């Protein structure tokens, strides 16, 4: 009897381990305490059959995400970040939302392969840009280019507050990039980044003199 109980317990542990590994691999098993875990699991159903699997974020990206929220006093808002592999259309990251228990929750999904190849400042810029989409209020008259400009403005603003030079901030866009339906030209993007960065500088200096 005792052996049967032990055997059943062993089988249960094995099955539990299999379920954990089937649920999404390294992100889940390595980082069970991530506050993004339950959210990313909840989203999995939605992505089933679309070729995208969501996982909890890697440490660097989770820290950058939290740093941007903390810097803007948004630490306790229900925003989440999830990691995926090879997002469609070579997208580095995107911001979106999902209704959970009748409440719309905004979140960012980033491509782990793209982020594996970029440095900390570029990763910060992309995450700040996506959070810019999440936190900037939308208006019915906004065009797609307007929304991108607001996100770049927010990212430029964040970079100033993180002590990153205007030059490094502007480097995140190339003047060679032409406009598309989705995105403004590189020149316009740099303009939005500069506006955000300069506004943060002007306001900070104004109050630091008081």
Applying CB under 5 A, which residues contact Zn ion? 148, 151
The CB-of-6 to Zn ion minimum distance in angstroms stands at 55
* Structural tokens at position 114: 């793209």
**Residue 164 contacts residue 201 (beta carbons within 8 Å):** no
The CB-of-81 to Zn ion minimum distance in angstroms stands at 15
Q: Which residues are paired to 83 by β-bridges?
A: 55, 110
| Nearest of 63, 55, 172 to residue 111 by alpha carbon | 55
Q: Which residues are paired to 99 by β-bridges?
A: 104
Question: Judged by CB, which is closer to Zn ion: 55, or 129?
Answer: 129
Q: Which residues are paired to 97 by β-bridges?
A: 106
Question: Judged by CB, which is closer to Zn ion: 71, or 92?
Answer: 92
The CB-of-151 to Zn ion minimum distance in angstroms stands at 5
Question: Judged by CB, which is closer to Zn ion: 28, or 68?
Answer: 68
Distance in angstroms (rounded) separating the CA atoms of residues 155 and 82 = 19
Distances 118 to 67, 69, 123, 174 between C-alpha atoms, Å: 18, 21, 6, 15
The CB-of-38 to Zn ion minimum distance in angstroms stands at 26
**Crossing angle of helices 120-135/144-161, nearest 10°?**
130
Distance in angstroms (rounded) separating the CA atoms of residues 151 and 196 = 10
Question: Judged by CB, which is closer to Zn ion: 24, or 133?
Answer: 133
The CB-of-42 to Zn ion minimum distance in angstroms stands at 24
Question: Judged by CB, which is closer to Zn ion: 18, or 182?
Answer: 182
């Amino acid at each position: 009897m005792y052996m049967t109980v032990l055997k059943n317990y062993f089988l249960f542990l094995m099955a539990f381990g299999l379920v954990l590994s089937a649920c999404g691999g390294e992100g889940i098993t390595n980082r069970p305490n991530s506050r993004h875990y339950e959210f990313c699991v909840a989203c999995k159903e939605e992505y089933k059959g679309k070729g995208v699997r969501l996982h909890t974020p890697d440490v660097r990206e989770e820290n950058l995400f939290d740093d941007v929220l903390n810097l803007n006093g948004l630490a306790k808002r229900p925003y989440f970040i999830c990691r995926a592999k090879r997002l469609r259309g070579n997208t580095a990251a995107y911001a979106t939302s999902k209704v959970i228990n009748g409440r719309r929750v905004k979140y960012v999904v980033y491509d782990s392969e793209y982020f594996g190849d970029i440095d900390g400042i570029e990763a910060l810029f992309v995450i700040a840009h996506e959070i810019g989409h999440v936190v900037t209020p939308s208006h019915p008259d906004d065009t797609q280019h307007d929304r991108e400009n607001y996100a770049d403005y927010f990212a430029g603003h964040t970079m100033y507050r993180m002590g990153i030079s205007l030059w490094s901030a502007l480097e995140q866009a190339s003047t060679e990039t032409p406009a598309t339906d989705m995105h403004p030209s590189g020149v316009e993007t740099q303009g939005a980044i500069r506006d955000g960065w300069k506004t943060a500088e002007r306001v900070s200096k104004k109050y630091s003199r008081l």
